[in-house]
């Protein structure tokens, strides 16, 4: 990268934050309107549906949400019977969470609409550009993690 002067409009963290908000806001309309889920509830249901059981701390890390948001979202999902809570087999202080059949069915419905949303939202990219975008995102992520000693 060159030593050009700082321009906020070209600063990667700023651009990614803007894009992330745009994508998240647009995509969240899909599950808010049809299923009545919050962003946090969707993230938890998606993570739990992909691999379970998970503790609240696991969800803090995988969904990248703070503890209070995870706690509120878990309460909402439990109240709607989309997930169940069970005692952790080794740690009596922790609980494990997993989706119910109703939760898995909701996740499947949202996933179908999510694929349609993604296809429409990225229709202006060729298949090659899409793959390139994913590879570049992975490369940036890996570089930051290596720099920080995470991997």
Confidence (pLDDT) at 92: 86
37 within a domain of the structure (yes/no): yes
pTM for the complete prediction?
A: 0.87
8 within a domain of the structure (yes/no): no
> Tell me: the pLDDT tens digits for 19-43?
999 999 999 999 999 999 999 999 9
14 within a domain of the structure (yes/no): no
> Where residue 103 sits, what CATH number does that domain have?
1.10.10.10
Which of 51, 44, 66, 52 is closest to 110 using CA atoms? 44
> Tell me: the pLDDT tens digits for 117-133?
999 999 999 999 999 99
* pLDDT at position 7 over 80: yes
56 within a domain of the structure (yes/no): yes
Instruction: Find all residues with CB under 8 Å of 60, minimum gap 6, and list them.
Output: 66, 67, 70
- The tally of domains found in the chain comes to 1
> Tell me: the pLDDT tens digits for 80-112?
999 999 998 998 889 999 999 999 999 999 999
């Amino acid at each position: 990268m060159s030593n050009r002067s700082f321009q906020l409009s070209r600063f990667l963290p700023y651009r990614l934050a803007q894009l992330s908000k745009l994508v998240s806001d647009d995509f969240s309309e899909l599950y808010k309107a049809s299923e009545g889920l919050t962003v946090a509830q969707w993230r938890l249901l998606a993570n739990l549906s992909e691999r379970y059981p998970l503790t609240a701390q696991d969800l803090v890390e995988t969904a990248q949400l703070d503890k209070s948001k995870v706690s509120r979202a878990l309460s909402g999902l439990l109240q709607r019977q989309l997930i169940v809570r069970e005692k952790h087999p080794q740690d009596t202080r922790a609980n494990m969470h997993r989706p119910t059949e109703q939760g898995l069915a909701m996740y499947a419905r949202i996933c179908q609409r999510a694929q349609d949303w993604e296809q429409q939202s990225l229709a202006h990219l060729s298949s090659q550009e899409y793959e390139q975008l994913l590879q570049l995102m992975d490369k940036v992520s890996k570089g930051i993690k290596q720099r920080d000693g995470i991997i």
